[in-house]
Each structure stands twice: as C-alpha cells, then as structure tokens.
C-alpha cells in the first residue's frame, strides 16, 4: 500500500522534491497510461492544498477529450484554442491563470474554480494532452508551483508508455 507523506511546512521547492520522490515510487514498475494518469490525478488531489480538480485531457485531432481526473463532473471535449486548456493545447505553452474570470473564453466546469494551471503533456515532441489543475483560491499557483508541477509531469511522462493498448 502506498502512503503519501506531505510536509507543508517545508519550502515549496523542498515540498515538490519530496512529492517527486514519492511519485517515482508510486509509478515504479507500472507503465500503463490509464493506470499512471489515474494515479497521478489522485496523487495531485491528495498532496496539493487548495485544489478542487486535477486531471488530464487527451489531444485528439484538434480537440481535447477528457481523460482520468479527480473532481466534479467535467467538460468532455474542448476545442483547441478555447478556454485555458484549449489555449495550452494550441500554443503548447503552460497557462497559469491567477483569476479565471479574467481569462477570455474561460470554460467553467466547476463554478468554484478561481485559478488554474494547465501544462501541455509532450512526449517525443508530440502533444499528448494537457494536465489541468483548478483551485477555488485566486492566484493559487506561482512560479514555484509551476516548476514543481513541471518536474512531476516529467517524472510521469518518463514512467509512462503513452500508447493505448487493448
């Protein structure tokens, strides 16, 4: 059984370093995409404070399709270029939004969300999807959160086989 240990009193870089070590252990010896993405979403929800949604949207053609997540029922399809997730997919750049109500075309799947960070998931130079994390707190994510989440995402992509097998 995996037990997550977090120390919110440490600095953010130390906190994310600790999370990365734990994530490495959690994903050890597992490569399945659905399994790892599901675990990753639960891991983020369990370890990050003031987060109300965490999950993945897969890139399919010119739209994003809902993948494994933890949170309230969500939008199932998002066109590239629409909302924060679609913008991250079309630009392939991280979107860190302090106040989602100020973001033109924001898609509100959970009316409690106030801020959001979306990181493109790139594997071998190809967009696989996006990691989306929402918070009910405005300005929840800063540079240190972004750097920590980028490290966690790298660990995930290195541990995961991103080809769907039946």
pLDDT digits (tens, 9 = 90+) for 35-53: 999 999 999 999 999 999 9
Q: What's the whole-number mean pLDDT along residues 119-134?
A: 96
DSSP string, 91-158: HTS-EEES-GGGSTT---SSTT--EEEEEEEEETTEEEEEEEEEESSTT---HHHHHHHHHHHHHHHH
pLDDT at 111: 77
In 3D, which of 162, 160, 150 has the Cα closest to residue 28? Answer: 160
pLDDT digits (tens, 9 = 90+) for 106-117: 777 777 899 999
pLDDT at 107: 78
pLDDT digits (tens, 9 = 90+) for 129-165: 999 999 999 999 999 999 999 999 999 999 999 987 5
Average pLDDT score over the chain = 93
In 3D, which of 88, 89, 85 has the Cα closest to residue 61? Answer: 89
Neighbours of 166 (CB within 10 A): 2
- Of the options 3.30.450.40, 3.50.50.60, 2.40.110.20, 3.40.630.30, the CATH number for the domain spanning 12-159: 3.30.450.40
pLDDT at 163: 81
pLDDT at 31: 95
Domain residue extents for the chain:
12-159
Furthest C-alpha separation in the chain: 43
Q: Flag whether pLDDT at 125 surpasses 60.
A: yes
Q: Flag whether pLDDT at 103 surpasses 60.
A: yes
- pTM for the full model? 0.93
pLDDT at 165: 59
């Amino acid at each position: 059984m995996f037990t997550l240990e977090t120390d919110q009193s440490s600095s953010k870089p130390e906190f994310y370093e600790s999370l990365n070590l734990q994530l490495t252990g959690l994903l050890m010896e597992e490569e399945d995409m659905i399994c790892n993405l599901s675990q990753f979403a639960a891991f983020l929800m369990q370890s990050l404070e003031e987060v109300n949604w965490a999950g993945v949207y897969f890139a399919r053609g010119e739209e994003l399709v809902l993948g494994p997540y933890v949170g309230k029922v969500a939008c199932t399809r998002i066109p590239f270029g629409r909302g924060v997730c679609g913008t991250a997919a079309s630009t392939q750049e991280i979107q860190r939004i302090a106040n989602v109500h100020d973001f033109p075309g924001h898609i509100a799947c959970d009316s409690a969300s106030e801020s959001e960070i979306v990181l493109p998931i790139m594997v071998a130079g190809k967009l696989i999807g996006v990691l989306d994390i929402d918070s009910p707190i405005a300005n929840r994510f800063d540079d240190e959160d972004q750097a920590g989440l980028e490290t966690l995402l790298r660990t995930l992509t290195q541990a995961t086989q991103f080809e769907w097998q039946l």
